[in-house]
Amino acid sequence: MSSFDISVILDALPFLAKGLGLSLGLTAVAMIGGLVLGLVIAIVRLSRFRVLAMLAALYVNGFRAVPLILVIFWFYFLVPLLLGRPVGALYSVLIAFVMFEGAYYSEILRAGLKSVRPGQWQAAQASGLTYLQTVRLVVLPQALRKMAPLMVTQGVVLFQDTSLVYVVSLHDFMTSASIIANTQNRIVELYVFAALVYFALCTAGSALAQRLSSDRQRAH
Amino acid sequence: MNYAWNWGVLFQSPYLEWLGQGIAMTLAVSIAAWTIALGLGTLIGIFHSGASGAMRFVTGSYINLFRNVPLLLQMFLWFFVVPELLPKAAGTWLKRGLPYPEIVTAIVALGLFTASRVAVQVAAGIAAVPRGQSMAARASGLSTAQAYRLVLLPQAFRIVVPPLTSEFLTIFKNSSIALTIGVYELTAQTQQIQSFTYQGFEAFTAATVVYMAIALAVTTLMTVIERRVSIPGPAARG
């Protein structure tokens, strides 16, 4: 093959940047949505309502047993069917990611909520707080600090997972690189460049997680 | 919701065969990749836990590299890019001479990716063995290799069974990414059934049930292994 041609990457930068924007946006929505949903699931699972807790466990174990690609296919197929009209791939994918991440974040949050010492729960209940007040005012602030590094690590995994929207041809960073690679017939340049960008961003994320966790250790 | 149910489609030819082939492919790719991951990951984990600074750097770089690039892109790199970078003859052989190139590539890519995750667990397991064990092994005259083989690894492997279970479960799910380079594993076959018959509900339900069954089988197997290898007596409880 001919030598490494960097100009094809420079020419495609605006297109690739748009793709990266979608990847990061998808990560942000899935992370925020997944955290909110995950929190609800974690609270339900730790609550006294046995039937609800069981349903929440079923939800989490169900989503954790299947591949994300299958979940994406499921929602790509289901969402238009349920709404009765065609919607773009983006909405199906957003819903799929939030539901999927909710299951994973709920496990992190559940472990965090459980790691807060029982005395904290008992003291909060004894001072007359309700279950939800105990979670919100006493347990959650402590749990979130403990869980911050894990959440960032999960965020890095999630960012990598957004590349899977390739299977429904949504133009994220991975898919954009693939489009240029094939239309310009510059496969080596584009995939190596994409790998470098993913590597740099994920390494930065991992370093942040590392720092958060060593900050915590020093504070104790 | 307007949907014509037809569960019978799953039991018709050729869809039943597609489903069966998909399950077989998912199992074959995952188990083959797992043997690579377990072997290579253990080696990398051992060297990563060792004293040599150069070795720690090399193994640490491997781990970081493979963990920080999406698996989908890694599959593309192995499948599309590596044959271009190799000497011409080798590249041509990879593309034309190698039988089932997409399946072999998927196994190698998935194996090397998972090896980085196994390595992290193995290194953590070795680090979790109390330090006195390693010092006692050296003091009683064992060489480094003997200390690892006879004292540290037997204990470390027992510690890492639960996290390795989770990696083993993940490899079956990650094998679905092989569909992007044209491997007809379970997810790809059910997607194909849905595009041929429009019975997506039935097809995806079948895939979901199979993945859940695999998860259940793996968890059961690993629980049995964990129980069989556990050291009896209160002293072993760490």
**Has this prediction a pTM greater than 0.90?**
yes
Tell me what percent of the residues of chain B surpass a pLDDT of 90: 81
What is the model's pLDDT at position A101? 97
Tell me how far apart the alpha carbons of residues B59 and A62 are, in angstroms, rounded to a whole number. 35
ipTM of the complex: 0.91
Q: Do B61 and A195 form a contact (C-beta atoms < 8 A)?
A: no
Q: Which of A144-153, A167-176, B32-41, B66-75 has the lowest mean pLDDT?
A: A144-153
Q: What is the mean pLDDT of residues B34-38?
A: 98
Tell me how far apart the alpha carbons of residues A150 and A145 are, in angstroms, rounded to a whole number. 10
Of A1, A62, A160, the CB nearest to B70: A160
Closest by CA position to B9, among listed B205, B176, B185, B182: B205
Nearest-Cα residue of chain B relative to residue A177: B73
Residue B94 or residue A217, greater confidence: B94
Token pair of B208 as six digits = 């979901």
Determine, for residues B77 and A74 on separate chains, whether the beta-carbon distance falls below 8 Å.
no
Say if residue B238's pLDDT is above 50: no
What is the model's pLDDT at position A169? 92
Q: What is the mean pLDDT of residues B138-157?
A: 93
Q: What is the mean pLDDT of residues B152-173?
A: 94
Contacts of A37 (CB under 8 A, 6+ apart): A98, A99, A101, A102, A105, A106
Say if residue A88's pLDDT is above 90: no
What is the model's pLDDT at position A2? 58
Determine, for residues A67 and B64 on separate chains, whether the beta-carbon distance falls below 8 Å.
no
Determine, for residues A178 and B77 on separate chains, whether the beta-carbon distance falls below 8 Å.
no
Q: What is the mean pLDDT of residues B17-36?
A: 98
Q: How far is CA B33 from CA B97, B107, B143, B208, B238, in A?
A: 21, 5, 32, 22, 31
The DSSP 8-state label assigned to residue A4 in this structure reads P
Q: Which of A47-61, B83-97, B138-152 has the lowest mean pLDDT?
A: B83-97
Residue type, A147: M
Say if residue B51's pLDDT is above 80: no
Chain B positions in Cβ-Cβ contact with residue A84 (cut-off 8 Å): 1-2
Say if residue A6's pLDDT is above 70: yes
Determine, for residues A67 and B211 on separate chains, whether the beta-carbon distance falls below 8 Å.
yes
Say if residue A190's pLDDT is above 50: yes
Contacts of B176 (CB under 8 A, 6+ apart): A67, A68, A69, A70, B26, B185, B186, B187, B188
Say if residue B237's pLDDT is above 80: no
